[in-house]
Structure 1
Amino acid sequence: MAHHHPHHPSRRRLLAGALGLGALGALAPLRTARAADFKALVCIFLYGGNDGMNMVVPMDATRYADYARVRAGLALPQGSLGRLGTSDYGLHPALSALNPLFAAGRLALQFNVGPLYAPLTKAQYRADAGKTVLTPPSLFSHSDQQVLWESASTDAQSRTGWGGRSAAALNLSSPVISVGGNGHFGLSELTAPLVLPGPGDSFGAAGLSSSDITWRPNALKQDAIKALTEQTSDTDLANAFQKQQRDAFALSEQLGPLIKRKPGEAGSNAAVDAAFAPLIANGNVTTGIGKQLYQAAKLMDVRATVGGNRQIYFAQLGGFDTHGEQIAGDALSGTHAALLKQLGDALACFQAALTALGLAESVTTFTQSDFGRTFKPNNSNGTDHAWGNHHLVLGGAVKGGFYGKYPMLALGGPDDVGVDSWEQHGRWIPTTSVDQYAATLLGWMGASPGQLDSVLPNLANFGSARSVGFL
């Protein structure tokens, strides 16, 4: 069966010159905000659908036996798991860099979270069969479920992302700052995310960096674009676009040199470079997610330059659509292990950098992904598309531990959408909604109950259970 692979946001970076750079509001003065006043959220989207069932695994005898029996050749050996404190859960060994964060109380595991309109039992799901809003549309489809997660809605046509709506509702001085491409998460009604390239890359409005405009035709082009952006228009949309362009020029002049700076270069922050040292070779950060988080750490170091004391960042790591050869040779190697190692190592370096900058308590990082994957492997040494998934939340303000309800590891059981033998794959019905997950993060940022309801339209359907409690 052919599987549709959506374009990852990084491939859409061509849009950045026209749209993504410029969504900045009033540029803040060049001064450093006190860390006590500063808070940032960092979303890391794991494109393709991360296999949460192998990211965190139960280690008690009964559930591990259930896991090993169903997972068969994909099961991680019990002795390889990094036990989380004294709990009955262990992390994939590729995430070993995160175990010290759990021991320090700074890592939370959120179990079985996914898009929901309202709380949903298996009986309701079976009776509804997609006829009403109770069943989110286009379940198990990459492109649709990415939109549902990034928009925190059950409307597959949602034009905006919950990051972008939050930035607008909280009146942040800057839009969502994306170090990982032009994702849906950062879109609001009138602004696109601020899309930044990696260290060593030039950054400029309309695709023109300061080095490009030394050539006279480019300088004339820039003058013409600037002149166009100064003209007022009789439509709100055109005015909003022109404002984005004006802001883009101002911002690229302000941030261009910082964005381009690589580890060890003149003016780079020695503490940030030291924190990322495990990922630096020959003056370059070696992994894509490492580069993105290195940029985020640099920007947080000069947070007032970027604007405001509340910021939302977006980063991403793709490749998680592991239908085949998810493991190679043994369960500790292969595609999934390599991706988790990139993720865990980059998160550990990022947290070390925040600690060095005095911002450990001020920044909360969390994962999102298209969906979870089937508990039962397929016939290709891989897993297929499912629904509820487990996610990571880390930072100095996080109350470490386990949140939500871990599914019953029974094919066809109360948490599996399937009843008949052919459909018993372990696709978990979520017991926590994306809205509750997002509300917990945004509540910590300072969003009021009214702001949460405006940003997360389905949150009211969960009654008083608005926060999951990990912050």
Structure 2
Amino acid sequence: MQRRQWLKFTGGTLAGALGLGGLGSLLHTPVQAQAGYKALVCVFLYGGNDGLNTIVPTDTTRYNQYANVRGSLALPRTSLVSLGSSGYGLHPAMTALESVWNQGHLAPVFNVGPLYAPMTKTEYRNAPANSSLIPDALFSHSDQQLLWEAASTSAMARTGWGGRAAETLATANPVISVGGNGRFGLSTLAAPLVLPGPGATFGLEGLENTGWAPVGTRKTAIDALYAGSHPNALLNAYMSQQRDAFAMSDRLGALVKTTPSDANASAAINLAFAPLISNGSITSGLGQQLYQVAKLIEGRATVRGERQIFFASLGGFDTHGNQIGSSSTVGEHARLLGILAQAMACFHQAMLNLGLGQNVTLFTQSDFGRTFKPNNSAGTDHAWGNHHLVMGGAVAGGTTYGSYPELVLGGPDDVGVQSWELHGRWIPKIGVDQYAATLLRWFGASDTQLDTILPNLRNFSQRQLGFV
């Protein structure tokens, strides 16, 4: 925030400026420390990642089915990154994750999406327009992003499942976001703590402790303004939030600002992120975000709390055209998956270097999958069920989870029946609630807490998927 913005807000919005909106943002009451540190890291792929070209079957029958429908978008089988004997391969741009798979720390989860309850194609086709079984506004970017982040089937959902988890488990901090102010981290009383990237100032510019007397005088006056109490309960809570926000920025400012080239930078983290460091800076946006998360995890005593939830994001996955590229250009999807894989691999190595591989689990989310059948612009369109990746030392990797859809247009997994609607939009076999519940159970949530965080979970007989 610049000085003129500070003047505009009359010295009263530090919490909002720091991404701490909501009077309860810093008012969590921590439960007694649970045994051992654990962190969940969500990476949201905005735009709708094409899962069918992210994880491709390699057995002859299904690969031929895939190639026949995908046509010019089909990836050569020999180019895929082998996932051993699983019968699947990753997009060739994701070679950085091959070693993570070989370590047994990576697990693909197939055909996940927003669901109120398990649903067959017949139930989908016969459901009335207002049926609670059908998620709101299917195939819409903004709505499906909300449903994924909220673990809901209602576009009216106001909170995210990460925020509800932090609230229900009474973590020391709200969700910590390095990827923007998404719905995922929002709870009933707290917004996520939104942090800038490495090298940025976390706090209000112009009020740093520079030794210049006028700045010190101004800061003392502001501290005095918020130090008292007021008979109005709402104003009193607001003043308390401002005090907490100043304290938070004082505590985390130096940690947030550290870059790979600084003298106090972590050697263990720098070594892991070396493939992404050039001239003292991280070369990709997602890499910067996960570098920031790695620093916060290493500095967990400063951040505080035995349970932390982080949110990062990568955009650009709305590949309606030129998805593959040409012989002379790299397609947008390959470029994005390369960024994702390299950042994930560096982050995982950082956790191993810190001795925290078993304590941190990273997982992906996205708006939706994309159509099996390409469009007329050498791209793919909006769909429903999608494939995701879960990574970490506690992950039961080296295998896949869930059912890959039948690669048949108009088949049992495709919502379409009439010729004009046969695009391959998969009805999910796994609900977002089941995916989230598996992660949160590892994180320490009880069955009762899971039902509070994920209201639709009670509609599924299988509550745990076993990938972590």
Q: Give me the TM-score of the superposition, normalised by structure 2.
A: 0.91
**CA distance in structure 1 between the partners assigned to 2:355 and 2:420 by the alignment:** 53
1:307 Cα offset (Å): 1.1
1:359-395 Cα deviation digits (max 9, x unpaired): 0000000000000000111111111000000000000
Distance change >3 Å, CA 212–CA 125, structure 1 → 2: farther
1:242-298 Cα deviation digits (max 9, x unpaired): 443222110111110111111031111111111101000000001000000000011
**CA distance in structure 1 between the partners assigned to 2:385 and 2:329 by the alignment:** 24
Report the counterpart of residue 6 of structure 1 in structure 2: none
1:100 Cα offset (Å): 1.2
Report the counterpart of residue 425 of structure 1 in structure 2: 423
Distance change >3 Å, CA 247–CA 387, structure 1 → 2: same
Assess if the C-alpha contact under 8 Å between 1:93 and 1:332 holds in 2. no
Distance change >3 Å, CA 127–CA 248, structure 1 → 2: same
**CA distance in structure 2 between the partners assigned to 1:18 and 1:305 by the alignment:** 17
1:135 Cα offset (Å): 0.1
Distance change >3 Å, CA 322–CA 421, structure 1 → 2: same
1:91-132 Cα deviation digits (max 9, x unpaired): 001111111111111101000000000001000000014321
Number of residue equivalences: 450
**CA distance in structure 1 between the partners assigned to 2:268 and 2:429 by the alignment:** 41
Paired residue type of 1:134 = L
1:230 Cα offset (Å): 4.5
SS of the aligned residue for 2:362 comes to strand
Assess if the C-alpha contact under 8 Å between 1:44 and 1:368 holds in 2. yes
One of 310, 313, 320 as aligned partner of 2:310? 313
Report the counterpart of residue 401 of structure 2 in structure 1: 403
Asked if 1:178 corresponds to 2:177, the answer is yes
1:231 Cα offset (Å): 3.9
1:333 Cα offset (Å): 2.5
Report the counterpart of residue 80 of structure 2 in structure 1: 81
Asked if 1:48 corresponds to 2:47, the answer is yes
Report the counterpart of residue 7 of structure 1 in structure 2: none
1:241 Cα offset (Å): 4.3
Q: Give me the TM-score of the superposition, normalised by structure 1.
A: 0.90
**CA distance in structure 2 between the partners assigned to 1:239 and 1:420 by the alignment:** 61
Assess if the C-alpha contact under 8 Å between 2:53 and 2:91 holds in 1. yes
Distance change >3 Å, CA 219–CA 377, structure 1 → 2: farther
1:417-459 Cα deviation digits (max 9, x unpaired): 0000100100000000000000000000110000000000000
SS of the aligned residue for 1:451 comes to helix
Report the counterpart of residue 3 of structure 1 in structure 2: none
SS of the aligned residue for 2:244 comes to helix
Assess if the C-alpha contact under 8 Å between 2:370 and 2:384 holds in 1. yes
List aligned pairs for 1:141-152, cutoff 5 A.
141-152=140-151
Report the counterpart of residue 91 of structure 2 in structure 1: 92
SS of the aligned residue for 2:107 comes to strand
Structure 1, unmatched stretches of 5+, are: 1-13
**CA distance in structure 2 between the partners assigned to 1:417 and 1:331 by the alignment:** 36
Report the counterpart of residue 126 of structure 2 in structure 1: 127
Report the counterpart of residue 280 of structure 1 in structure 2: 277
Paired residue type of 1:402 = T
Assess if the C-alpha contact under 8 Å between 2:374 and 2:380 holds in 1. yes
List aligned pairs for 1:104-253, cutoff 5 A.
104-204=103-203, 210=208, 216=214, 220=218, 223-224=221-222, 227-228=225-226, 230-232=228-230, 234-235=232-233, 240-253=237-250
Structure 2, unmatched stretches of 5+, are: 1-13
Assess if the C-alpha contact under 8 Å between 1:226 and 1:246 holds in 2. no
**CA distance in structure 2 between the partners assigned to 1:239 and 1:114 by the alignment:** 42
**CA distance in structure 2 between the partners assigned to 1:241 and 1:373 by the alignment:** 44
**CA distance in structure 1 between the partners assigned to 2:424 and 2:159 by the alignment:** 31
1:216 Cα offset (Å): 3.9
Percent sequence identity over matched residues?
59
Distance change >3 Å, CA 332–CA 229, structure 1 → 2: farther
Asked if 1:345 corresponds to 2:342, the answer is yes
Assess if the C-alpha contact under 8 Å between 2:29 and 2:171 holds in 1. no
Report the counterpart of residue 460 of structure 2 in structure 1: 462
Report the counterpart of residue 449 of structure 2 in structure 1: 451
One of 261, 266, 269 as aligned partner of 1:264? 261
Assess if the C-alpha contact under 8 Å between 1:42 and 1:313 holds in 2. yes
SS of the aligned residue for 2:84 comes to coil
When the two chains are superposed, the root-mean-square deviation of aligned CA atoms in Å is: 2.4
SS of the aligned residue for 1:402 comes to coil
**CA distance in structure 2 between the partners assigned to 1:214 and 1:115 by the alignment:** 54
Report the counterpart of residue 102 of structure 2 in structure 1: 103
One of 295, 300, 308 as aligned partner of 2:297? 300
**CA distance in structure 2 between the partners assigned to 1:303 and 1:226 by the alignment:** 30
Assess if the C-alpha contact under 8 Å between 1:440 and 1:468 holds in 2. yes
1:147-177 Cα deviation digits (max 9, x unpaired): 1000101121111110010001001001101
Distance change >3 Å, CA 421–CA 222, structure 1 → 2: farther
Assess if the C-alpha contact under 8 Å between 2:124 and 2:415 holds in 1. yes
Distance change >3 Å, CA 407–CA 316, structure 1 → 2: same
1:234 Cα offset (Å): 3.9
SS of the aligned residue for 2:400 comes to strand
SS of the aligned residue for 1:90 comes to strand
**CA distance in structure 1 between the partners assigned to 2:431 and 2:73 by the alignment:** 28
Report the counterpart of residue 251 of structure 2 in structure 1: 254
1:71-92 Cα deviation digits (max 9, x unpaired): 1111101110011012210000
Assess if the C-alpha contact under 8 Å between 1:27 and 1:306 holds in 2. no
Distance change >3 Å, CA 208–CA 445, structure 1 → 2: farther
Paired residue type of 2:316 = G
**CA distance in structure 1 between the partners assigned to 2:224 and 2:194 by the alignment:** 20
